[in-house]
């Protein structure tokens, strides 16, 4: 059977930003089917997971960037054996810090960003692209690439995504999903601290965790070849990709 990999982008990140990763994957594994699926454009954050579950095919590998990775984890746990494997890229178990998971964005920083997005989404999205690119080898170029590929989303969809990031805690899903897991983090990530990699490994020692050096939160767009190589090596452990 031909292996099928679904790529999910992050909050306010367009599907086009994952195209370089898709191309890198297909260059190395041309018989692999790789599809990029946009996140739901819904104003009700609680409906996002159901929308993805209804739209995405069963018996595929799920890979997600940031919020996409968190949703992929929830969906993998829901589907169980019907999910071939899970890949998280710059995706924390909790995006917003809490007492029992401090290796995440501080609550005050997240709240200020959320409020700024409500007041001025256009300027906040520009700032967001700079944050995603912060720590990259060429942050200005990466930020421009992100801005060019950024989708035009309604304010209520942006707000719903941030509300989802605020409350999502994927630890139970990650622990409950028995399939193979790979989690890639970026050394200089300004949104998901690299320390989250060790925190995840300490909590779930049986999963595969890697930190890619010299990289930002824009890892899949910044280093598509490295990310593709890591994903394919992981997939080959359990299949004939």
pLDDT of amino acid 1: 58
The C-alpha atoms of residue 145 and residue 151 are separated, in whole angstroms, by 12
**Which residues of the chain, if any, have pLDDT below 50?**
240-241
Annotation says 217 is catalytic: yes
pLDDT of amino acid 218: 98
pLDDT of amino acid 239: 64
Query: Left, alpha or beta for 186 (phi > 0: left; psi -120 to 50: alpha)?
Result: beta
Catalytic residue (one of 45, 66, 91, 216):
66
Annotation says 50 is catalytic: no
Q: What are phi and psi of 139, to 5 degrees?
A: -65, -35
Q: Using one digit for the tens of pLDDT, what is the confidence trace for 119-167?
A: 999 999 999 999 999 999 999 999 999 999 999 999 999 999 999 999 9
pTM higher than 0.75 for the full model?
A: yes
Domain extents in the chain: 4-236
- CATH for the stretch 4-236: 3.40.50.1820
pLDDT of amino acid 78: 97
Catalytic residue (one of 45, 91, 189, 216):
189
The C-alpha atoms of residue 146 and residue 126 are separated, in whole angstroms, by 9
Annotation says 59 is catalytic: no
DSSP reduced 3-state for 6: strand
Residue 169 token pair: 């805690």
The C-alpha atoms of residue 217 and residue 224 are separated, in whole angstroms, by 12
Q: Using one digit for the tens of pLDDT, what is the confidence trace for 180-201?
A: 999 999 999 999 999 999 999 9
CB atoms within 10 A of CB 38: 16
Q: Are the C-beta atoms of 133 and 143 separated by less than 8 Å?
A: yes
Residues 6+ apart with CB under 8 A from 187: 135, 194, 211, 212, 213, 214, 215
């Amino acid at each position: 059977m031909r292996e099928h990999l679904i790529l999910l982008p992050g909050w306010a990140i367009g599907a086009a930003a994952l195209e370089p990763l898709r191309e890198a994957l297909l260059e190395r594994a041309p018989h692999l089917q790789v599809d990029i699926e946009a996140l739901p454009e819904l104003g009700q954050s609680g409906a996002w997971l159901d929308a993805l579950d209804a739209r995405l095919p069963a018996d595929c590998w799920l890979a997600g960037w940031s919020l996409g990775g968190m949703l992929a984890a929830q969906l993998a746990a829901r589907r169980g054996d019907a999910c071939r494997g899970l890949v998280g890229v710059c995706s924390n178990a909790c995006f917003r810090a809490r007492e029992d998971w401090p290796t995440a964005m501080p609550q005050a920083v997240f709240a200020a960003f959320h409020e700024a997005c409500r007041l001025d989404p256009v300027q906040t999205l520009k700032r967001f692209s700079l944050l995603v690119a912060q720590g990259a080898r060429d942050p200005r170029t990466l930020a421009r690439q992100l801005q060019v590929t950024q989708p035009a989303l309604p304010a209520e969809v942006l707000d719903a995504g941030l509300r989802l990031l605020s409350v999502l805690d994927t630890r139970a899903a990650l622990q409950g999903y028995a399939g193979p897991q790979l989690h890639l983090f970026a050394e200089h990530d300004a949104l998901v601290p690299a320390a989250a990699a060790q925190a995840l490994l300490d909590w779930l020692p049986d999963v595969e965790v890697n930190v890619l050096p010299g990289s930002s939160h824009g890892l899949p767009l910044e280093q598509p070849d490295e990310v593709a190589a890591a994903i394919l090596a992981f997939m080959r452990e359990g299949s004939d990709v």
